[in-house]
């Protein structure tokens, strides 16, 4: 019974929507607006001031690309690659400055969700 409810298609859509909506749109807007949370993270990481707004624009573009139909496969591939680099770089950045383990692992967990979306995208 549960197999009929939870299938590959629903897992794909859930993981893709999670990345697109939470990371892409919400995260992108937060980065562009440079909220207090972003400024606090930047206080630790010491990126240049223009970095987070630029990253925010790329996150929003990546989110849009993930939501495009299957016929835009090359653009989607670039979005998956871009998010992969973002999550790995975020994890390493937190590691490099000696941040706590939760800040190092969180981007890798999100990378796992992205991987689920990527590997299921053509399976139905």
Q: Is 63 exposed, middle or buried (0-12, 13-18, 19+ CB in 10 A)?
A: buried
Q: Take residue 13 and report the two structure tokens written for it.
A: 């859509």
pLDDT attached to residue 15: 98
Tens of pLDDT along 33-70?
A: 999 999 999 999 999 999 999 999 999 999 999 999 98
Report, as an integer, the average pLDDT of 96-113. 98
Mean predicted lDDT score pLDDT of the chain: 95
Residue 7 has pLDDT above 70, yes or no: yes
Report, as an integer, the average pLDDT of 8-12. 95
Report, as an integer, the average pLDDT of 101-106. 98
Nearest to 30 by CA among 50, 45, 52, 49: 52
- Domain extents in the chain: 2-120
pLDDT attached to residue 124: 78
Cα 107 to Cα 89: distance, rounded to the nearest angstrom: 9
């Amino acid at each position: 019974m549960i197999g009929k409810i939870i299938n590959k298609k629903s897992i794909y859509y859930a993981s893709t929507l999670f990345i697109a909506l939470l990371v892409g749109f919400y995260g992108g807007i937060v980065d562009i607006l440079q909220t207090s949370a972003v400024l606090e993270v930047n206080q630790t990481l010491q990126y240049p001031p223009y970095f987070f707004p630029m990253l925010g624009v790329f996150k929003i573009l990546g989110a849009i690309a993930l939501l495009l139909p299957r016929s835009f496969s090359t653009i989607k591939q670039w979005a998956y690659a871009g998010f992969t680099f973002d999550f790995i770089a975020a994890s390493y950045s937190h590691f490099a400055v000696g941040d706590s383990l939760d800040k190092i692992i969180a981007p890798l967990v999100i990378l796992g969700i992205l991987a689920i979306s990527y590997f299921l995208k053509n399976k139905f």
